[in-house]
Amino acid sequence: MVLFSSLTPVFVAVLCAVVVFIHKSFQKKDRDSKTGSKSTAESRPWVDEDLKDDTEINSKDEGDWADSEEDVPHVPYAPERYPADVQLQRSREFHTLMNNRRSVRFISPEPVPREVIDNVIRTAGTSPSGAHTEPWTFVVVADIEMKHRIREIVEEEEEINYRQRMGDKWVSDLRKMRTSWVKEYLDIAPYLILIFKKTYGMHASGKKKTHYYNEISVSIACGILLAALQNVGLVTVTSTPLNCGPPLRLLLRRPANEKLLMLLPVGYPAKDAVVPNLTRKSLDDIMVFV
């Protein structure tokens, strides 16, 4: 007890040091988890990179996408002006065309001209983007073996998802569910278009240059791609195989700054293609006029 008592000041000092240390380290951890921990990212390189949220914008970021264009010389812009009746007719026809678009899982193996694919990708590349960074890469896969490896990765992940979701109920529902994770179209479609968002670029100095709004920009490009596909009578189904991003990125040898956003199988519809009998919301349900 005497020994213990004489050690007490030391004990208290050590305990205080421990308290301060734990407090500090949790403060740091807390701060890191808010800003995105660099040390964690370095220890699990591609997993963290791929899951990192990069759509968050702070108050100093640019709201206007083209502020970086301030110093570029300007040129007159006079696009085609349609007479009123032509304009109205064009608005109706384009609506009819796009309203006929459906997500289709039954894709024909028939070949599609390569030049048509080139043109729809070119068209997607006309999209606007934050500060004109054009943060997209379209990987078009026609190679039979590569398509099959992509299918294997996607189906494996899908099966895990379905098993987890179904839990015990899963075994009895096997037959019904199986149709949900088997993605034959990934083998059959003549082309798979994998759309990657470039989350950052590089300054000439070698410093990372954040691409703000890259996910929104690439999604807009995807919308224009869907319009371009529909315009030439091709079908697709919009899928976001998010958990497959890292293995598919490695398979396709894309650099670390590119993250998979969407995977579109593309081709003509199969002869026996069916789609769910869904309707769309009416104009009154989606538009508010002020």
Name which of residues 150 to 189 contact its own copies (CB under 8 A): 154, 157-158, 160-161, 164-165, 176, 180
Token pair of 150 as six digits: 């992509």
Token pair of 102 as six digits: 């459906």
Q: Give the one residue of 3, 10, 39, 115 binding its own copies; rule: CB under 8 A.
A: 115
Q: Give the one residue of 64, 203, 204, 205 binding its own copies; rule: CB under 8 A.
A: 64
Give CA–CA dist 248/273, Å, rounded. Answer: 28
CB of 135 to its own copies, least distance (A): 10
DSSP state of 242: G
Longest Cα–Cα distance of the chain, Å, equals 102
CB of 127 to its own copies, least distance (A): 6
Find the binding residues for its own copies in span 25-54 (CB under 8 A): 26-27, 29-30, 33-34, 53
CB 228 within 8 A of CB 124: yes
Q: Give the one residue of 38, 44, 122, 208 binding its own copies; rule: CB under 8 A.
A: 122
CB of 156 to its own copies, least distance (A): 12
Query: Torsion-angle region of residue 104: left (phi > 0), alpha (psi -120 to 50) or beta?
Result: beta
Give CA–CA dist 156/175, Å, rounded. Answer: 17
Q: Give the one residue of 45, 61, 171, 182 binding its own copies; rule: CB under 8 A.
A: 61
CB of 138 to its own copies, least distance (A): 5
CB 135 within 8 A of CB 261: no
CB 219 within 8 A of CB 187: no
Stated length of the chain = 290
CB of 245 to its own copies, least distance (A): 10
Segment contacting its own copies by CB under 8 A, of 40-48, 120-128, 203-211: 120-128
Find the binding residues for its own copies in span 240-259 (CB under 8 A): 240-244, 252, 254
The label of the residue with tokens 């494996």 reads: 156
| 65 lies in the site for its own copies, by CB under 8 A | yes
CB of 270 to its own copies, least distance (A): 9
Q: Give the one residue of 37, 142, 156, 184 binding its own copies; rule: CB under 8 A.
A: 142
Binding residues for its own copies, how many (CB under 8 A)?
A: 141
CB of 45 to its own copies, least distance (A): 20
Report how far apart, in Å, the C-alpha atoms of 180 and of each of 112, 147, 177 are: 26, 19, 5
- How far out from the chain centre does Cα 62 lie? 21
Segment contacting its own copies by CB under 8 A, of 40-48, 201-209, 261-269: 261-269
Site string for its own copies, 200-229 (x = CB under 8 A): -------------x-xx--xxxxxxxxxx-
Spatial CA neighbour of 193 closest among 243, 124, 128, 98: 124
